[in-house]
Structure 1
Amino acid sequence: MFANFLSDLAVDLNEGQILTQWAEQAPRKAWLLRPGDVLVTPVPLSPEFLRYVFDLTGVPPETVAVVDVPPAGAVPLARAVREAGLAEHVRALAGDRGAALVPTALDASAIAFARDVGLAVHPYLTVEAAEAALRMTMLLNTKTGFREAAEHLGMRLPVGRMGRRPEVEGVARELLRDYERVVVKPDRSAGGHGMRFVSRDDLRGGANLLLDTVGGPEGMWVVEECLDVAASVSIQLEVTTSGARGLFSGAMRTAYGSFTGYVCPLPPSCAHVADELEQWGKALGRHLADHGYAGPFGLDALVGEDGVAYASESNIRRTATTTPHTMVTRLTAESANAHPAWSVAKGWAQRSLGFEGALARLRAARLAFDPARGEGVVLYTDAPPDGHSWRYAVIARSAGDVEEQEAALAGVLEFGGG
């Protein structure tokens, strides 16, 4: 399990601060571990968190290895492993047993690392097959690459245009003649990072779009009509040797266009778009398969206030919901909760708490996940570095039960404004 959150696949590596923040979620990969596995992580996992994970998954701690890689700045994880002198240690742990690298993001650095230490790249049969898929993987993690593919595949898109940074303000002004607001997106970004929402008033009087900090001097951008959005939704799929199959869909929680959480399944207010989402996702999956890609990917869409869905971007990698979904499926497999509803989100505790302290509060309030019932709150990414910004998952029998547990959790951990 190669938790390479610091990757140029989703965001340019010069966006070091946001990449470091995303890497704080690396401990969630512990929920994927099974006996014999190795986790290579850019942030350490506390003993308390690992004990908690192994207690719930039933994995004997002595059967897995966790390799903590010291911080090396905004560089790919593979480089950080080499600079820390850990490459030989990883090679020794992998041994001669047909082990494979499972990267969070399929990028050139991870592929080179797999070749160096003699590993295949899951789910590809050879490193060369993974490398052959890289061009399409990189392309469809850009906004421009996605728009071109989506148009070709017949998806409905917001009205938009593409251009390099010097052209963006002119493109925005042209679109603002017909639309009250536009959204300006850097070509390679994820989770809403770097997006700008611009109205006619914003550009009146010669204001600029303040694009200096994202995307590079010649980077590509997309300018789109800003829809009146009722919901942001996504479907997660997987390309296998037998074709593309849908795994799950849900609604994203967002703030100013940035991802803040997720609820699954789709709420009734936007459940009517499920079939169209799956149709679009499978078409994209076939396109990916034709270009050699295998593995998980996601397709995001916006549902307008008129109920119509518009495709917005693709994420050809393991997303922020891929591992939580696997965790939920694993934890409820033998419980009384056969078809769980679940959410992931983040709350800001007004008092600083350690992992054991937060877990004790959940247990005292009878909110902690119960394996027999298949319900409860899971602290799925370890204690936050600041002691306040807790990421959590809620697993329940229905969307209503999820909301009730989240409200109770907010009281127990004293969530506030943050």
Structure 2
Amino acid sequence: MTTEHEGPGTLVILANFVSPLAVDLTEEAVVRRWAEQAPRKLWLTRPGDVLITPTPLSESFRRYVFHRIGVPEKSVDVVTVPDTPHLPMARALTEHNLLEPLRALVNSRPTARLLPTALDEASAALASDLRIPVVPYETGVPSPGTLRTVAAMNTKSGFRAVAQTIGLRLPQGRTCTGAELEQVTSALLACHQQVVLKTDRSAGGHGLHFVSRGDLPPQSPPPPPDSRWVVEEYVEHTRAVSAQGHVSSTRVEVAYDGEMRMSGGSFAGYCSPLRDLPEETRNELTRWTLALGSQLAAEGYRGPYSLDAVSTKDGTLFALECNVRRTATTTAHAMVTRLTGCGGSAWSTGTATTAVPTSFDEAVNHLTEAGLDFQPGGSEGVLLYADRPLDGRSWRYAAVASTHDRLTELEVRLAAALGHGEF
């Protein structure tokens, strides 16, 4: 069971992937693509919970999830918020006259609590309006100062500033405006063969630009002069790793770690726990994650966060960014822990691609015929955890096994069962 469900009462799960915390909301295509992942939050529900989602959930997916987590289908209320350009999801509720129906659902649940994916100002304001606490804040709603810290730490420049104060090893780099970007990039390329240009507020690999010495000048139009950027040396590495921390009122801990699967600089999947990494490198990642959590705790933050880093061939670790919110791996980890009853399994996420568009039920049938479909009470198998993709082909999955070697076997069989895969 997820830690959020340890207390009494029901959850109002706000799948606010549409949030200015991670990306500028004018980036409509990116926001819409992230919102497609919202159905996975159904795995967190218990009877009596409310799920607020920007993406409709298919009946097939609902039946699939509820059967595996043992929750009656009609015991969870789902509120769908229509796509609303440029508005945080928590504010879009009012735009579509959904606030009062939501208030009625909350009023019938006296011990309800809000669980946002991203702790932005709009979600905190929604909790205050509904008069319910935000998970896991003992005092109800985080302070304005805590919200400012969360917003700052979800920028590349904000992370670098804090990382330097707590002694994390960083790639050489500089923060600059759009007007300064070309000059700063040229200066760093004089010292490094390749650099990475990062939009200050971005996530999941969006907003990264890799530039090598001798490349042609960037294409027009240039970025807005007042936009914010971080330019860093590109660190040649063999592994991209991440650790997930959690801050409570009494402690800071590392919940799990793993290797990030990357494609062109973008996050494409995860495999946990970490293996085949030098022990000192893994220990350093743990120390850094705990130090970052302690800094967040001092600012009043409570809840999950992650630290992303890369490891060079000799095991030297460089910190790249942090995500102070529920990330692409938190729901998968909670789901695996819930279904297996323990936190000791090896698990992974990725995208498996079918040769032709397939319905959700057809995709499940492929898994069943291949002996891969995870069933209640099982200890290994494959789960389709984010409903049918828009193209009907790119299926997000989670695989669970007792060992990494067995996990690899399952993923190879999954690729064969669906046609071919990307891991």
| 1:106 shift after superposition | 0.3
| 1:211 shift after superposition | 7.2
Secondary structure of 2:337 counterpart: helix
Task: From the superposition, tell whether residues 169 and 28 of structure 1 become closer, same or farther in structure 2 (CA, over 3 Å).
Answer: same
TM-superposition CA deviations, 1:14-47 (whole Å, max 9, x none) = 1111011000000000010011110000001111
For residues 262 and 67 of structure 1, what CA distance do their matches in structure 2 show?
A: 29
Structure 2 counterpart of 1:285, from 275, 280, 293? 293
Give the match for residue 351 of structure 2. 346
CA RMSD of aligned residues (A): 1.7
For residues 160 and 395 of structure 1, what CA distance do their matches in structure 2 show?
A: 38
Structure 1 counterpart of 2:403, from 394, 398, 401? 398
Q: Report whether the alignment pairs 1:83 with 2:95.
A: yes
Secondary structure of 1:188 counterpart: coil
Residues matched between the structures, number: 410
CA contact (8 A) 2:339 2:377 kept: no
Give the match for residue 385 of structure 2. 380
Secondary structure of 1:251 counterpart: strand
Secondary structure of 2:152 counterpart: helix
| 293-302 or 74-83, larger mean C-alpha shift | 74-83
Q: Report whether the alignment pairs 1:111 with 2:124.
A: yes
| 1:168 shift after superposition | 1.3
TM-score computed with the length of structure 1 as normaliser: 0.94
| 1:240 shift after superposition | 0.2
| 1:272 shift after superposition | 4.4
Give the match for residue 208 of structure 1. 218
Give the match for residue 190 of structure 1. 203
For residues 252 and 341 of structure 1, what CA distance do their matches in structure 2 show?
A: 14
TM-superposition CA deviations, 1:53-72 (whole Å, max 9, x none) = 11111112222111112222
| 126-135 or 27-36, larger mean C-alpha shift | 126-135
Q: Report whether the alignment pairs 1:363 with 2:363.
A: no
Q: Report whether the alignment pairs 1:173 with 2:186.
A: yes
CA contact (8 A) 1:270 1:303 kept: no
CA contact (8 A) 1:185 1:221 kept: yes
Q: Report whether the alignment pairs 1:34 with 2:46.
A: yes
Amino acid at match of 1:299: L
For residues 247 and 155 of structure 1, what CA distance do their matches in structure 2 show?
A: 20
Structure 1 counterpart of 2:419, from 405, 414, 418? 414
For residues 412 and 198 of structure 1, what CA distance do their matches in structure 2 show?
A: 39
Alignment of 1:292-307 (within 5 A): 292-307=300-315
| 1:362 shift after superposition | 0.4
Alignment of 1:228-377 (within 5 A): 228-269=236-277, 272-333=280-341, 339-377=344-382
Secondary structure of 1:102 counterpart: strand
Q: Report whether the alignment pairs 1:139 with 2:147.
A: no
Give the match for residue 54 of structure 1. 66
Task: From the superposition, tell whether residues 366 and 197 of structure 1 become closer, same or farther in structure 2 (CA, over 3 Å).
Answer: same
CA contact (8 A) 1:365 1:412 kept: yes
| 59-68 or 274-283, larger mean C-alpha shift | 59-68
| 1:342 shift after superposition | 0.6
| 1:406 shift after superposition | 0.8
Task: From the superposition, tell whether residues 293 and 248 of structure 1 become closer, same or farther in structure 2 (CA, over 3 Å).
Answer: same
CA contact (8 A) 1:140 1:316 kept: yes
Q: Report whether the alignment pairs 1:123 with 2:140.
A: no
Structure 1 counterpart of 2:231, from 198, 223, 232? 223
User: 5+ residue gaps in structure 2?
Assistant: 1-12
Q: Report whether the alignment pairs 1:5 with 2:10.
A: no
| 1:128 shift after superposition | 4.4
Task: From the superposition, tell whether residues 372 and 417 of structure 1 become closer, same or farther in structure 2 (CA, over 3 Å).
Answer: closer
| 1:416 shift after superposition | 5.8
TM-score computed with the length of structure 2 as normaliser: 0.93
Moved >6 Å (runs of 4+): none
| 1:306 shift after superposition | 2.2
